[in-house]
Structure 1
Amino acid sequence: MTKSLKLATPTIFTGDCKKLDTFLLQLTLYFKFNQSSFATAADKVQYAAYYLQGEAEEWFRPYIQEYTNNEDNPSQAEESIRPMFASFNRFRSDIRIVFGDINRERTAERNLLKLRQTKSAVDYTAHFTRLSAAINWEDAALTAIFYAGLKDGVKDKIVRGERPEDLRAMIIMAIRIDNRLYERHKEKGQTTYGNKRKTTAYPSGWKRNKDGHQKSDKYGPKPMEIDTIELKKKKTFNGDCYNCGKKGHLALQRTPADKEVGQGEKTQPQNFVMDWVLRQ
C-alpha cells in the first residue's frame, strides 16, 4: 500500500480547457497518496465534484444530485448516471469530452513546431516536454524539432562536436552548453544573458554612484593613467620671497605682522631680517 502523504488539495476547476490536465493530474496524485480515504470509485468522483465551480459545476450538478438522492440504493439512480460513479476513468473521460481541447493533439503539434528558445534552455525544455507529451511522435522527429528551436549560439556549439542522436542526450547537452554561455556572458560584463549591450567601462580612478553617475575614486588615478596627468613645471629659485614675490628677504624671515599687511604695502625690516640683499 502506498504510504499516505499530506498533499495540497487540488485547485478549483471552472471549465478552462487549459487547466483541465493540471486538475486531473492533481486528483490522480492525491488519490494515489491517500488511498485509505477513498474506498470506492464513487468516493473519488464525489471528491472531484467538490472542486468544480462555474460551468464545470453546472455541467456535473445533475449527476451529483441524482446520485446523492439515491446513494443508499444506487440501482435506483438513472441508468445514464450510474456509470459516471462506477469508475473515476469514466469521469475523467467525460469531463475531457466536455471541457477538453477537441483538437488537443493538433494544437500541440502546431505549438511545438512554433516553439523557440527565448529564455534558458531549462525553460525551453519544460515547454517542449509539455507539448510533446500530447502527441505521438518518434524520438528522432522530436530530437530534430528540439534542436531547431534552440538559440543559434547553443546550436553552434552543438554542431562543433558529435551531435546527440536521441532527445534525452540532446536536452542534456543543450542545457549544459546554455549554462556555460550564460556564465561566459557574466564574465564579459553583460548584465543579462542574450543582451547585446555591455556594461559601461569606466577608467580606473572613477566609480559609479547609486544614481549611475561617475565619481572620482578617493585614491586618485591608477598607474595606467600617469600619461593623462599634466605635470607642473618645477619652479626655479631666483631670490624672490615665496609669499609676497619681492626681493630682500625670505618667507621664513617674515614676521606675523608682515604677513598680515595687504599686498603692495611695504613694512620696515625687523632686527632679525637678513642684512644682505640678493643682487641681480
Structure 2
Amino acid sequence: CFPLCRPGPALPLFSDTTPEFTQIRTAIANQGILLGQHDTLFKTISENSQMLLNQVQLLTNQVSALTTQVNAAPPVQGIQTAPSPTPPVFPALPAQIREPFVPAPERYDGNMGTCGDFLTQCSLVFEQQPLTYASERSRIAYLINSTSGSARSWGSAVWESQSDVCNSYVAFTTEMRKVFDHPVRGKEAAKRLFSLRQGSRSVAEMAVEFRTLAAVSGWNDEALQGVFINALSETLKDELVSHDESPTLDNLISLTIRLDNRIRERRRERSVSSKQPACRQPTPPRPFPTEKAESSRVHTRSAEPEAMEVGRARLSSEERARRIQARVCLYCGEAGHFVPSCPVRPGKGPAHH
C-alpha cells in the first residue's frame, strides 16, 4: 500500500485588488518599458555601427582606386617597380545619413490658446529626429525644457512626482491638454468676429486675426465676407463701392489689402510733399527813402536818449521835444540836416565820406 501524502502549506492567493498584485503588475509594466528602451538603444547602436562600417568600406574603396591609378601609370625610365598585389574590391555602400536640423519651438508659457500649436511643433521635431528622441521619457523631458512660466511649473511638478504619465508621451500630452488646451472656438470665436475692427492696423494685419477666428467659427464663406467688410475702416468701405462683389473670401481679402496699401502709400506721398519747403518769392527792391520817411525814421530813433561825445551832456526831455518840433538836428541843434548827416557828429558827417 502506498503511504498517505500529507498536504503541504497552502500557497497564498492574490486577488486583483490586493496591494501585492498591484505592485507586481506595476513592476512587470516597468520592466516592459525598460526592455523596450533597451531594445531601442540596441537598434540605435547597431545602426551606428553599420554606418561606421560603411564609412570604413568607402575609404577602403577610395584607397583601392588610388592604388590602381598609381599602378596604371607608365614606369619611369631607369627605374623598375615591383608589381603591387591587387587589393580586394568591395561593393560601394551608401554614405551615412544624418538627422536634419530642426529649430526648437518657441517656449510655451501656459497660454490657453496656443497649447495645441506648441505640441504640434514638438511632434515635428520628434518626427524629423527619431534617433535623438527615441524613448518616451526623452520626448517628455524635451517638452518640459521647452516650456516656461505656469507650464514649466506644472511639468516640473508632474515629473518630480514620478507619475505614470511620465512613462508615456501620449499620456503626458493628454494631461497637458486637459490643463492648458482651451482655445477660442464656436460661439466665442463668433463673438470676437462680430467685435473685430480694423482700427489703425493695416488690412493685412487684421486679416491674420480674422482668418484665425474664422477657421474655428464654423461659418460659411458668404457670412464671413459680410463680417469682414463690417470690420473694415470707412475709407475702405467707400473704396469697395466702386468694385464688383468678390466671389470668395480670399478674393475679398486680397482686394482690400491692395486697396489699403495704395491708400497708405498715397498718404505717405502727401505727407512727404507737405514737409518740403515752399519756393521763396524774390524780394522786391526797397524804394529810395524820401525826406518825409527819413524824418519819420530819425524821429522814431530819437525816442531813445542820444549818446553824446565826451564833454557833452545828454539832452533833456524838454530840449529833445523842442528840437523835434523845430525839425532841427538832435545832435548839434542846427537846421538843414538830421542826425544821420550831421557834419559835427564823429564818423557820420560828410567829411568822412
Q: Which interval holds the TM-score relative to the shorter structure?
A: 0.5 to 0.7
Q: CA deviation at 1:178?
A: 0.7
- Contact 1:4 1:35 (C-alpha < 8 Å) held by counterparts: no
Q: Of residues 129, 141, 149 in structure 2, which corresponds to 1:34? A: 129
Q: Of residues 123, 126, 132 in structure 1, which corresponds to 2:205? A: 123
Change (3 A) 1:4 1:183: same
Which residue of structure 1 aligns with residue 151 of structure 2? 56
Q: What do residues 211-232 of structure 1 show as CA deviations (whole Å, max 9, x unaligned)?
A: xxxxxxxxxxxxxx35xx4344
Q: Of residues 276, 284, 291 in structure 2, which corresponds to 1:230? A: 284
Which residue of structure 1 aligns with residue 168 of structure 2? 85
Q: Does 1:100 align with 2:181?
A: yes
Q: Does 1:151 align with 2:233?
A: yes
Question: What CA distance in whole angstroms lies between the structure 2 residues aligned with 1:42 and 1:266?
Answer: 106
Higher helix share: 2
- Contact 2:114 2:181 (C-alpha < 8 Å) held by counterparts: no
Q: What do residues 22-67 of structure 1 show as CA deviations (whole Å, max 9, x unaligned)?
A: 5334323433443443335554333212334444344344643465
Change (3 A) 1:140 1:28: farther
Equivalent residues in 2 for 1:173-252 (5 A)?
173-189=255-271, 199=274, 202-205=277-280, 225=281, 229-233=283-287
Which residue of structure 2 aligns with residue 160 of structure 1? 242
Moved more, 158-167 or 47-56: 47-56
Question: What CA distance in whole angstroms lies between the structure 1 residues aligned with 2:121 and 2:169?
Answer: 20
> Alignment RMSD, CA only?
3.7
Which residue of structure 1 aligns with residue 195 of structure 2? 114
Q: Does 1:140 align with 2:222?
A: yes
Question: What CA distance in whole angstroms lies between the structure 1 residues aligned with 2:116 and 2:276?
Answer: 50
Question: What CA distance in whole angstroms lies between the structure 2 residues aligned with 1:168 and 1:2?
Answer: 41
Question: What CA distance in whole angstroms lies between the structure 1 residues aligned with 2:236 and 2:279?
Answer: 35
- What secondary structure is seen at the aligned counterpart in 1 of 2:217? coil
- Contact 2:105 2:118 (C-alpha < 8 Å) held by counterparts: yes
Q: Percent identity?
A: 23
Q: CA deviation at 1:107?
A: 3.1
- Structure 2 unpaired stretches of 5+: 1-96, 290-345
Q: Of residues 13, 20, 34 in structure 1, which corresponds to 2:115? A: 20
Q: TM-score, normalised by structure 1?
A: 0.57
Change (3 A) 1:38 1:140: farther
Give the partner amino acid of 2:101.
L
- Contact 1:2 1:35 (C-alpha < 8 Å) held by counterparts: no
Q: What do residues 236-263 of structure 1 show as CA deviations (whole Å, max 9, x unaligned)?
A: xxxxxxxxxxxxxxxxxxxxxxxx9862
- Contact 2:109 2:150 (C-alpha < 8 Å) held by counterparts: yes
- What secondary structure is seen at the aligned counterpart in 2 of 1:39? coil
Give the partner amino acid of 1:100.
D
- Contact 2:225 2:249 (C-alpha < 8 Å) held by counterparts: yes
Change (3 A) 1:40 1:164: farther
- Contact 1:2 1:32 (C-alpha < 8 Å) held by counterparts: no
Q: Of residues 255, 258, 263 in structure 1, which corresponds to 2:349? A: 263
Give the partner amino acid of 1:230.
P
- What secondary structure is seen at the aligned counterpart in 1 of 2:271? coil
Change (3 A) 1:201 1:64: closer
- What secondary structure is seen at the aligned counterpart in 2 of 1:45? helix
Which residue of structure 1 aligns with residue 100 of structure 2? 4
Give the partner amino acid of 2:241.
V
Which residue of structure 1 aligns with residue 33 of structure 2? none
Question: What CA distance in whole angstroms lies between the structure 2 residues aligned with 1:15 and 1:145?
Answer: 31
Question: What CA distance in whole angstroms lies between the structure 1 residues aligned with 2:109 and 2:186?
Answer: 22
Which residue of structure 1 aligns with residue 34 of structure 2? none
Report the structure number with the largest CA radius of gyration.
Answer: 2
Question: What CA distance in whole angstroms lies between the structure 2 residues aligned with 1:266 and 1:85?
Answer: 110
